[in-house]
Amino acid sequence: MSSNATKVVVDVEGRQVALTNLEKVLYPAVGFTKGQVLDYYTRIAPVLLPHLAGRPLTRKRYPDGVDGPVFFEKNAPRGTPDWVHTEVLPSPGSTKNRETIEYVIVDDLATLVWTANLASLELHTPMWRVQKKRGRPAEPGPPDLVVFDLDPGEPATIVECCEVAVLLREVLQEDGLEPLPKTSGSKGMQLYARADHFSSSEETSAYAKGLAQRFEKSHPDLVVHRMTKALRPGKVLVDWSQNSAAKTTVSVYSLRARERPTVSTPLTWDEVETCEKPQDLVFTSDDVLTRVADHGDLFAPLLS
């Protein structure tokens, strides 16, 4: 290890990673520092990395903390170490009209630590992994996951999301899917299931949209499938659109840029069924490390 006043170079599994400004406070309300962010991501890595592996990463970076400016970053930034795994992929829906993007793929601890050091508090991934065939450039693979993003419109909360999740679970199981719940780490939650029965993102999107439309019709006082803000107060948006190949959703075990360092946390169905108030399902980084120590990776069934 070598260091100066603002930088520490550490060896992470044989890679030299420069860490900077470790005492900088990124969550001012609770004094949570960049060093603590790095500590969390290092300690959660054994269960996080399998869910990130092979997926192009979109980072939400907060260089001045959660109260400062934020920017989404898809392209590998200037100065990316040559040992970081990157893949050049088509960029459907790019807001910058780019034909391709050089994505970072977080396959190992050193890359995760390097990513966290960029103040990448939030990690967002698509429902597919990179596919490489001999003699052909890398491309998006078929989806391995299908997701339902449950977003409450005030005064609805995650309590109502849990009610919808339980209803969705029954139908998904009837369709041969076994959904697993997690908090978003913000206001809502998501249900994930393996996409074994689907061959394309178009198929998963059509399936999710159809199910969301059915639930809006059968539970009109609780569910909405359209984004229109005027329709959402007091209801839960079942956002099916996250299954698009161009969309990303916050990764399981990712920090969120809230007042406290909350985490997108896997849940048990018992926790979903018994949720009575929003605070029941708020978990910080320390909470999640304890949960993993006690229960392991509740999202492990989603891994191939």
Q: Render pLDDT for 33-65 as a digit per residue (tens, 0 to 9).
A: 999 999 999 999 999 999 999 999 999 999 999
pLDDT of 90 reads: 87
> Which pair of tokens denotes residue 63?
């260089």
Give percent above pLDDT 70 in the chain.
96
pLDDT of the residue at 4: 43
164 and 34 within one domain: no
What pLDDT is recorded for position 135? 77
CATH number at residue 277: 3.30.70.3300
DSSP state of 219: -
pLDDT at position 232, please? 87
CA 142 to CA 163: how far, in whole Å? 30
Average pLDDT over residues 183-191: 97
- Of 139, 123, 136, 138, the C-alpha closest to 200 is 139
Same domain, 172 and 40: no
pLDDT value at position 48?
98
Bridge partners of residue 255, in order along the sequence: 263
CATH number for the domain that contains residue 7: 3.90.920.10
> What is the model's pLDDT at position 3?
42
Task: Select from 120, 141, 162 the last residue of a domain.
Answer: 141
Q: What is the pLDDT of residues 150-182, one digit of tens each?
A: 999 999 999 999 999 999 999 999 999 999 999
End-to-end CA distance of the chain: 37
Q: Indicate whether 126 and 199 sit together in one domain.
A: no
> Can you tell me the mean pLDDT for 217-235?
91
Domain endpoint, select from 95, 117, 141 = 141
Mark whether 132 and 147 lie in a shared domain. Answer: no
Q: Which of the listed residues 125, 141, 157 is the one where a domain comes to its end?
A: 141
Q: How confident is the prediction for the chain on average, in pLDDT?
A: 94
As a whole number, mean pLDDT of residues 203-211 equals 97
Of the chain, the percentage scoring pLDDT greater than 90 comes to 89
Phi, psi values for residue 46, rounded to 5°: -55, -30
Burial class (CB in 10 A: 0-12, 13-18, 19+), 106: buried
Q: Do 235 and 125 reside in the same domain of the chain?
A: no
Chain position carrying tokens 């059915």:
214
| pLDDT computed for residue 1 by the predictor | 45
> How far is it, in rounded angstroms, from Cα 76 to Cα 87?
9
Identify whether residues 167 and 99 lie together within a single domain.
no
Q: Same domain, yes or no, for 67 and 89?
A: yes
**What are 110-157's pLDDT values in tens digits?**
999 999 999 999 999 999 999 988 878 889 999 999 999 999 999 999
On whether both 117 and 160 belong to a single domain, the answer is no
| Per-residue pLDDT, 94 | 47
Q: Which domain holds residue 286?
A: 143-302
pTM exceeds cut of 0.85: yes
pLDDT over 60 (residue 75) = yes
Residue 96 has pLDDT above 70, yes or no: no
Q: What digits encode the pLDDT tens for the residues 236-263?
A: 999 999 999 999 999 999 999 999 999 9
Q: Are residues 165 and 191 in the same domain?
A: yes
One domain for residues 262 and 247: yes
The answer on 168 and 132 residing in a single domain is: no
User: What is the structure's pLDDT at 98?
Assistant: 67
Task: Report how far residue 276's alpha carbon sits from residue 265's, in angstroms, rounded to the nearest whole number.
Answer: 17
Which pLDDT value is given to residue 227? 82
- At residue 97, the pLDDT reads 54
What total number of domains does the chain contain?
2
Between 2-11, 76-85, 193-202, the lowest mean confidence (pLDDT) is in: 2-11
Q: For residues 215 and 169, what is the distance between their CA atoms, to the nearest angstrom?
A: 12
Q: Are residues 116 and 224 in the same domain?
A: no
Residues 6+ apart with CB under 8 A from 62: 26, 68, 69, 70, 119, 121, 257
pLDDT score, position 2? 41
